[in-house]
Amino acid sequence: MRMKDKIGLITAGASGMGRAGALRFAQEGAAVGVVDIDEAGVAAVVDEIRRAGGKAHGIVADLKNDADSRRIVGETARAFGGLDFVWNHVGHPGPAAFEGLDLAEWDNAVALNLRTVLVTTEAAIPEMRARGGGALLFTASTSGISGSQFSPVYSAVKHGVVGLVRGLAKRYAKEGIRVNAICPGPIDTPMLRVFVARPDQQATLGMDKEELVKKRAYQTPMGRPGQAHEVANAALFLLSDEASFVTGAHLTVDGGATC
């Protein structure tokens, strides 16, 4: 098992890529704290892991609340006896608009994509230090390494995530704490429709939501969108000891879209 005896948590773990990651890590032997604001979704993932013989602890949290962003770390460590990894997967697509942007939407995008992961990571580092090291993974996006016409705000904050990863990787490398980012492209989850099928895009291009999804998601070089489990598999590598000399990296999982 590639994560045997590892203890970690994943935020936004109740659905999509987060759910796939929680199931995959548990399958590989990890004890997983499953964090989400969706209470029913958390319970369903935890139940699925336990029924398969794995270890999971559900935590319902609103990560826009700094206290919750810290609490999830301590609660996972207490539940299982330590902390070896964190996948900061929580995020938000942000507003489509730029002209006439409601700055409250900017604040929300910064809070969910950048502030929450900073606060959780700050709390996690001492726990990892006590274990002699660990691994941190942040979900950025292909929009975090190139511009996004669908949401310049999202692109800005995800570039911030990549910058944070690079800085933290250098800062904590000598303590055995690795820090990496994963950058999904179009992945077939509910978030895909929210992101690429914005109302302004539908109006401008004269396409409905599903037409836009097909236009955007199937134009990768591989001719299809990714699947949640494909991102989870990449995350598994970056968080496992197999990536022991990988830090400060941003791994694209995008079917070649950013080639």
Q: How far apart are CA 226 and CA 258, in angstroms?
A: 14
**Per this entry, what is the length of the chain?**
259
Catalytic: 154?
A: yes
Contact call for residues 61 and 162 (beta carbons, < 8 A): no
**HSE of 203, CA atoms in CB hemisphere, 13 A:** 4
How distant, in Å, are the alpha carbons of 17, 134, 140 from that of 22? Answer: 9, 17, 18
CA–CA separation, 159 and 95 (whole Å) = 16
Residue with tokens 């910058």: 163
Catalytic residue, from 85, 87, 150, 154: name it. Answer: 154
Instruction: List alpha helices for the chain, DSSP H.
Output: 16-27, 39-51, 66-80, 103-110, 116-130, 152-172, 190-196, 199-205, 209-217, 228-239
Task: Tell me the β-bridge partners of 250.
Answer: 181
Closest by CA to 35, choosing from 54, 1, 55, 8, is 8
Residues annotated as part of the active site: 154
